[in-house]
Amino acid sequence: MKNQSFIPIIIGTDINAYNMAISFHEEYGIKPILVGKEEMSFTKWSSIIERIEIHSNLWDKTEFVAVLSEVAKKYKAPGKQLLLIGTNDFYVRLIIENTEALKEMYVFNYMSEELMNNLLVKSNFYKLCEEHGIDVPKTYNYSCAKKEPFTEEVLFPLIIKPSNGVQYYKNKFPGQQKVYKVETHEELNNVINQVNASGYQEDLIIQDFIPGDDTYMWDSVFYMNSKGKAQLSTLAQVVLQEHTVTAIGNYTALITRYNEDLMKKLQHFLEAVGYVGFANFDLKFDERDGKFKVFEVNIRQGRSSYYTTALGHNMARYFVDDVIHEKEKPLTLLNEHYLFTVVPKIVLKKFVDNKEIQKEVRMLLKAGKWGNPLFYKQDKDFKRKFYLIARQFNYYRKYKNNNW
């Protein structure tokens, strides 16, 4: 490894983990260590990753600290700090729940357990938003613990999703979806009955469906330093999201935007609640009242947050400057024009229905103001390139055959 005072330990093996790995490689020439539950093709053959430590019991709450203790012993080196970064909500939750034990071995920047529970459990999060003047869709809570009939008078279509995603995915059932869109009372009750039968005991969020295609969705990334001060604020309009029912909400292409009022509003919310670390908001523009409605905040960088690195605001550098070097930085409100994508150009040209956005996509492609981090030039493994090309063909098939 290069002569740096830290070693990055990234928990996860998916796209998000890969984007963090290339952020470290681009900025510092470092090949990070990845720790995961299983190998995934995004990272498995990568030449810019030092090693992937596979521990099948990583998701086991009682084993998590033991696994990371083993990793820390293996990579501990004189004069080097181990910088710990989670890449999904579950891993970040486990880090936060085990802060006292882990901070003996690692440095990291995550919030308190109490705040995490207020943000990750959506019913709590929406209350917080209301307190701080953040707009959210009209929302109803249904208790799967009580299992009473849902009797609210509602207008269709509606969106249904779990309030607690971690618990929801622990109770698997056939046809399980990340988000449901229902058009009738019968469909609504069917979903409620399915989820109740699975053993899930937390709330369901039943929410007004905000009209509009993928391009009405928006994304915002923040970095809040360990003192709770905003150092980076970004905004981007979604061009496409995944269209398979299990992956809705994962963005595959977006264009960066600037809206100072909205960025400042979200900044003040995060600073008011005492947030630290990366935050990634999901929003949708509601043309009925001209407001941006927040759906959720992910307590980490998202898989599409790499656009910050591509535009000179390297995600790895924010972590390192803060928790390793304790640097103070003024707030940057990102104001660039760039297209982030993980899908091939043919998908962008064929499956973006919004004519204005389609025109803009073509203009950005032509001007070279775009990028796909999965095709990182310094990653030279041939098997990985072959996998990525096959994956690009598969993306075309997915968009052709699925319309959420």
CATH fold, domain 138-208, is: Dna Ligase; domain 1 (3.30.1490)
What is the per-residue pLDDT for 281?
A: 97
Helices (H) and strands (E) in the chain, counts: 15, 17
Question: Please, are residues 19 and 251 in contact by the beta-carbon 8 Å criterion?
Answer: no
Over the range 375-396, which residues count as b (16 or more CB within 10 Å of their CB) and which as e? Answer: ebeebeeeebeebbeebbeebe
What confidence category does residue 1 fall into, taking pLDDT thresholds of 50, 70 and 90?
very low
CA atoms within 13 A on the CB side of 96: 22
Tokens of 346: 């043919």
Domain 6-108 in CATH 3.40.50.720? The answer is: yes
- What is the tens place of the pLDDT at every residue in 344-399? 999 999 999 999 999 999 999 999 999 999 999 999 999 999 999 999 999 888 88
pLDDT tens readout for residues 13-33: 999 999 999 999 999 999 999
Under the banding of pLDDT at 50, 70 and 90, the label for residue 246 is: low
Alpha helices by DSSP H, 152-208 = 165-170, 185-198
Percent of the chain with pLDDT over 90: 91
Instruction: Give dist(CA 379, CA 41) in Å, integer.
Output: 13
pLDDT in tens, 47-72: 999 999 999 999 999 999 999 999 99
404 pLDDT higher than 70: no
Q: Report residue 127 CA to chain centroid gap.
A: 21
Average pLDDT for residues 92-116, to the nearest whole number?
A: 97
Topology, domain 214-401: D-amino Acid Aminotransferase; Chain A, domain 1 (3.30.470)
pTM of the model: 0.92
**Domain boundary assignment for the chain:** 6-108, 138-208, 214-401
Question: Which residue, among 229, 234, 250, 238, has the nearest Cα to 109 in the 3D structure?
Answer: 229
**DSSP per-residue string spanning 195-243:** HHHHT--SEEEEEEPPP--GGGEEEEEEEE-TTS-EEEE-EEEEEEE--
pLDDT in tens, 271-290: 999 999 999 999 999 999 99
Q: For 324, which DSSP code?
A: I
